[in-house]
Amino acid sequence: MDSTLTAAQAAARATVADEPRGRIRFRDFAAIALQLGLVLLLLRQFQIESPAFRLLAMLAFAGFAVHAFLPLPARLPFFSALSLISIPLTLGLVNGVWLIGIGLVLIAACHLPYSFRVRGAILLGLGALLIGQRASLLPTPWSEAIWPILGAMFMFRLIAYFYDLRHDKAPVTLAQSTSYFFMLPNACFPLLPVIDFKTYRRSHYSTDAHRTYQKGVDWIVRGIVHLLLYRYIYYYGTLAPSEVTGPAEFLQYVVSNFLLYLRVSGLFHLVVGMVHLFGFDLPETHKRYLLAASFTDFWRRINIYWKDFMQKIFYFPAVFALKRLGTNKAIIIATLYVFLLTWLLHSYQWFWLRGSWLLAWHDMLFWAVLGLLVVANSLYEIKHGRNRSLGKAKKTWQSTALTIAKTYATFWFICILWSFWTSESITDWLALWPALKGPYTSEALFFPLLSLLVIVLGTVDLPGIGAVTAPANGLRPWLRDRAITVAWALGLVLISIEGVHTSVSAEFATLMHSMRSAHLSRLDNAKLERGYYEGLLSVDRFNSQLWEVYSKKPANWLDVENAGIRRFTGGFGQTDLIPSFVSTTKYGTVTINRWGMRDQDYPQERPAETLRAAVLGPSTVMGWGVGDGMTFEALLEERLNREPVSKAFKHVELLNFGVPGYQPPTQLVSLDKALDFQPNAIIFVATGREIRRSASYLAEVVHKSLPIPYPELAAIVKQSGAVAGMDETEALKLLLPYGPEILRKVYGRVANTSAQRGIRAILLFLPQVREGSWQEETPETLRIASEVGLEVINLADVYAGHDVDTLRLAEWDDHPNELGHRLVADALYRRLQADPAILFGRAAGGAGN
């Protein structure tokens, strides 16, 4: 890395501004305000982050307009008050007051009139208490929603604060403390840069106010650009491991995975940029980290605040404690110590955000490898030094080419290492590599050439966006940099206008439409579905947005989940419901009858003159999150008996064979079980993405070497080349092309088995209670069902006209709530009323006949 800083620039830094400290001319203020107006438009047009954030942005920008003209001594208290107001505004009054109260107790503990050690012990005690509460070991009078934000505010900043209280003799004011912890944009961001308290205090109007504000605007715009790039990659670039089938996909996978970090760098720019508007001339959080030319360089450029925090609190004290061993040894040990702590603190951070400890092997390996690489690099630098320059670095073609080569190699190495870190398991990551044996098409050159282009452009001298030159450097560079910021903002606003992007092309319009909305990616939606069906979601990586959704999930969400409603069977279905199980949840009682059905008790033999239908399906059918009697199956049964739609039978019994986690192939196990109950009808419930889920389940079965009791499914597995014990991702790659065929065999078995026994077989399609791409496979699913002879009842529009949020249990749990079940029961009733024969047979007639 060449460090370039001209004497002119250095002199400019030291230049005392013409304006008195903190003052800004009205003309300059108007220019900043106009740019902030553009930023607000950008935030709105692209729905940047949450509605809560956009509200806080408005509060911050309005606050800036007042703050900039207040007397200097009043500004910090004003910012502090604004920050405090933002908390109840975001979290609600009760949660906000609790959070502020807990925070004030922690801050007060730092200032108790006791020795440093005693105060430290008190803080540790309070921390232990909060840990116990976060882990749900102790009761809390406040909502779980405050934990991620409380954690983000105090988990690291309290350490930095306490450290500086001990060593920095300058007195601390209340406004400094409260604004530092409750900092305005923090209320809606669980991830925030670890701002150093000493730097925070010292940076307050440490330089020209206009320049500080302008830097803030520049960084906010830069942050938005990062977030939009992230959004593009998140929506269109990311691949599932099972989709990595050749070298082109492998390269796309590793690059996209690393570039998802743009979200963090974007948010950090946004947050720190916003803080600049209140006079804090804070340093950069990231410095062109894609252009790191070595591992130490990478560590210095990415998340600089973290590096500085670790250096100050742990690295320097460790080196000083160890320096009697010699400088090199001290540096090696202290560096490894820092990486070990980074791993542990990552888990600590996860605990505050999610309430559980994240201790994964590949996490530890990632930090160990990165630590060793940085140590090796450091030793090389100790021995050979590194290029530094006071002025503009003297570049030759050779030195530029060498820098490009080193940067390119570092970039790809980091991409590979990052893919290891962010994979769900080591086996998942290892399963990616056979893809490199695939065909090397021209598509495989795309990412290598694109990354080379970016690195070449970044290495040669080009003006960067938002490089905040000082006005003292000359008016032209200053105006040029402002013009770049405004051009980015204006350009983005312009293309976000419907009339503009639709006039370019249909494809561009579709792209812009997608880019303008914040939603989960195709892959995260699939993961959410997996959690929905299996309850086994592993959301333990920061490069998925799912963790943000799940950070709001209470640790004891649905007590029944922890009470063990299911048992392992060891067969193809793997689990079933525990017979005679009863549990009380916050949504009511969950009762499993003696046959293992979430239903009232029934005799095994069908009573005379009774229509008995077995309802097969996943947790939606079982009624996850609603009490007994409130499932759509129970509601429909009750209504069909109360208000019959057919005279063909005196009674109607709907038997609930729903089991959480059951996939289309597993429902065959339920079918086998249901046949013992002599049903007249089978209602096979489908809920979206049936084809992929069928293939995924067989891949799981293959991986676990489970028996496949259905010859037609076993034959497909054999034909695909998947073999027992194979890695699940590998097996899925082989089975995915057979997805439609697998579903056809599943549905075919239901139809044939039913036909042989004179049972009416119905496929009931229910929509998922979420936005997203779950309906992609629906037309093909329904077509397959019809082709094999199943009667189809399609209730895809059953929730139409209702806000999704009113129908699901929670943001992190998309199961239908009571209203959702009622809507399904009512719609199904109306459908049967219109055509009773579909369930009751040709002799059904109407109730009035």
Partner 1 sequence: MSDELMQKIKNFIMEEFLPGEDPDELTATTPLISGGILDSIATLKLVMFMEEQYGVSFEPHEVDKENLDDLASIVRLLRAKNPSAA
Binding site for partner 1 (CB under 8 A): 1, 3, 5-7, 10-11, 13-14, 163, 166-167, 198-199, 202, 283, 296, 300, 311-312, 315-317, 319-320, 323, 327, 331, 378, 381-382, 385, 388-391
Give the residue among 106, 165, 112 at the shortest CA–CA distance from 313. Answer: 165
Q: For residue 582, list its beta bridge partners.
A: 591
| Cα–Cα distance measured from residue 722 to residue 730, given in angstroms and rounded to the nearest whole number | 8
Report the nearest approach of partner 1 to the CB of residue 311 (Å).
6
| Minimum gap (Å) between residue 59 Cβ and partner 1 | 31
Spell out the residues 6+ positions from residue 547 whose beta carbon is closer than 8 angstroms to its own: 353, 354, 539, 540, 541
Three-state secondary-structure class, residue 653 = strand
Residue 236 or 316 having the CB closest to partner 1 = 316
Whichever of 101 and 391 has its CB closer to partner 1, that residue is 391
Nearer to partner 1, 167 or 476 (CB): 167
* Structure-token match 């070298």, residue found: 247
Q: Which residues contact 44 (CB under 8 A, 6 or more apart)?
A: 54
Shortest distance in whole angstroms from residue 383 CB to partner 1: 11
Q: What angle do CA 345, 186, 142 make, to 5 degrees?
A: 80
Nearer to partner 1, 77 or 317 (CB): 317
CA dihedral 539, 542, 545, 551 (to 10 degrees): 60
Tell me if residue 585 falls in helix, strand or coil. strand
Q: What is the nearest approach in angstroms of partner 1 to the Cβ of residue 44?
A: 35
Q: Which is nearer to partner 1, 327 or 806 (CB)?
A: 327
Assigned token pair, 780: 């093909």
> Closest distance between partner 1 and the C-beta of residue 317, in Å?
4
Q: Which is nearer to partner 1, 180 or 677 (CB)?
A: 180
Of residues 149, 213, 146, the one with CA closest to residue 182: 149
CB of residue 219 to partner 1, shortest distance in Å: 16
d(CA 204, CA 283): 12
Choice between 24 and 468, CB closer to partner 1 = 468
Coil, strand or helix at 601: coil
Question: Which residue, 281 or 818, is less far from partner 1 as judged by CB?
Answer: 281
* Residue 13 vs 718, nearer CB to partner 1: 13
**Structure tokens belonging to residue 83:** 């920050």
Q: How far is the CB of 407 from partner 1 (least distance, A)?
A: 16
Task: Give the residue carrying structure tokens 């195709």.
Answer: 522
CB 175 to partner 1: min, Å: 21
Distance CA 438, CA 249 (A): 10
Place of tokens 């669980």: 190
DSSP-derived secondary structure for 739-785: HHHHHHHHHHHHHHHHHHTT-EEEEEE---SS-SSGGGGHHHHHHHH
Indicate the pairing of strand 610-616 with strand 651-656: parallel
Minimum Å distance from CB 523 to partner 1?
38
Nearest CA-CA partner of 371 in 417, 406, 416: 417
Nearer of residues 27 and 167 to partner 1, judged by Cβ = 167
Q: Which is nearer to partner 1, 378 or 754 (CB)?
A: 378
Interacting residues of 165 by C-beta distance below 8 A, sequence separation 6+: 110, 111, 172
The pair of structure tokens assigned to 183 is: 């900092």
Q: Are 794 and 827 in contact (CB under 8 A)?
A: no
Contacts of 93 (CB under 8 A, 6+ apart): none
SS (H, E, C) 81-134: HHHHHHHHHHHCHHHHHHHHHHHHHHHHHHCCCCCHHHHHHHHHHHHHHHHHHH
Query: Minimum Å distance from CB 124 to partner 1?
Result: 20
CA 1 from centroid of its chain's CA atoms: 33
Angle between helix 209-232 and 26-45 (nearest 10): 10
Judged by CB, which is closer to partner 1: 319, or 546? 319
DSSP state of 277: T
Nearer to partner 1, 310 or 702 (CB): 310
Kindly state the smallest distance separating residue 389's Cβ from partner 1, in Å.
Answer: 6
Residue with tokens 């070449």, as numbered in its chain: 456
C-beta atoms surrounding 357 within 10 Å: 11
Give me the least distance between CB of 282 and partner 1, in Å please.
12
Minimum CB separation of residue 177 from partner 1 in Å reads: 19
367: nearest Cα among 409, 421, 290, 303: 421
Q: Which residues contact 308 (CB under 8 A, 6 or more apart)?
A: 196, 199
Of 357, 355, 358, give the one whose Cα is nearest residue 134. 355
Closer Cβ to partner 1, 280 or 684, answer by number? 280
Q: At closest approach, how far in Å is the CB of 463 from partner 1?
A: 19
CB of 76 to partner 1, least distance (A): 19
Distances (CA, A) of 829 to 131, 635, 688: 50, 10, 21
Cα distance between residue 269 and residue 284, in whole Å? 8
**Shortest reach from residue 11's CB to partner 1, in Å:** 8
- From first CA to last CA, the distance across the chain in angstroms is 87
Q: How far is the CB of 157 from partner 1 (least distance, A)?
A: 17
CB-nearer residue toward partner 1: 312 or 527: 312
Please list, residue by residue across 359-383, b when 16 or more beta carbons sit within 10 angstroms of its beta carbon and e when fewer do. Answer: ebebbbebbeebbebbbebbeeeee
Rg (CA), the chain: 31
Measured from the CB atom, the residue of 78 and 380 that comes closer to partner 1 is: 380
Q: How far is the CB of 491 from partner 1 (least distance, A)?
A: 31
Residue 180 or 738 having the CB closest to partner 1: 180
For partner 1, the closer of residues 391 and 721 by Cβ is: 391
Beta bridge partners of 652: 611
How far does Cα 780 stand from its chain's mean position? Answer: 30
